[in-house]
Amino acid sequence: MITVCARGIGPILGGMDRSGEPLEGGLRGVRAALGRLVVDLRLREREVPAGLRTLTGQLRDGPAELRTRRFGDDEWTLTLAEIAVVEDGSLRAVTAIGSRHGSLAPILGVDVVAIGGTLNLIAVDLGPTDDDVWAEEAAPVLAELHRATAGRVVARRWPAFALEVFSPGALLCGAHRGQETEVLAAVAAFVLAATPVLAAARPAAPARISAAEQRRRRWHLAERSNRREHNALARMFGEAPASAYIDYLFPAE
């Protein structure tokens, strides 16, 4: 969203201080950091298919919407999504998926979910497409995220699909009660710290770029096999919309 201009970026950057409730403020902080990432990468807004731009469904606390925006350029595709309660607009989840084709850049994955008054899930990673780039540039940023959240989170078991493509530094956890604000602030700081890693130009031999593309494709295919996410979306928004949405986020080709 940059030359998305002020009109385009307002809904993502705005509203950090609208609510005094810690979970809401923390989720808005993550959303704001992702909006800054769009600006720093100089991405333009792209059209999302009309049937997927807003999905309407049901959460425990009422009707909800899954709202999606996509940004990119000749190389980048960055998808930002959020789940919000219709009645008051309060956030329940913020997600980002970012991939830079034709490069050695890692794959950005951010998913924070707060349903039922707790921070149920934090899944954050810079998925490797090239082992040397990941070790030199992405691993230190993820290590700092682990340091910032140490003692504040409880580890979650990795699903089988994640074992195939997540990095060894991925953070997959829930937050201890009372620690949500600090954990979400650490995720927002991670996004800002990861920006130079994602933005860096790395000239490389064609064979190395091709290998990175193959790993990027494997990442997409692995994510398509995440039945837990598919089933959660289906419960909230219906089976057919959930399937179409997964196809949009993680195309088979």
Tokens encoding 31: 């959303």
Candidates 2, 32, 4; CA nearest to 16 is: 32
Q: Check residue 253 and give its pLDDT.
A: 67
Question: How many residues does this entry show for the chain?
Answer: 253
Q: Check residue 228 and give its pLDDT.
A: 87
Domain ranges (residues) in the chain:
5-249
pLDDT along the chain (253 residues), means of 10: 28 37 92 97 96 94 94 95 94 96 96 91 97 97 98 94 92 96 98 97 94 94 90 93 94 77
The CA distances from residue 7 to 12, 36, 72, 86, 153, in Å, are 10, 14, 17, 22, 36
Contact present, 80 and 95 (Cβ < 8 Å) = yes
Q: Taking the model in full, what pTM does it have?
A: 0.90
Contact present, 145 and 168 (Cβ < 8 Å) = no
Q: Would you call 50 exposed, middle or buried from its count of C-beta atoms within 10 A (0-12, 13-18, 19+)?
A: exposed
Architecture of domain 5-249: 3-Layer(aba) Sandwich (3.40)
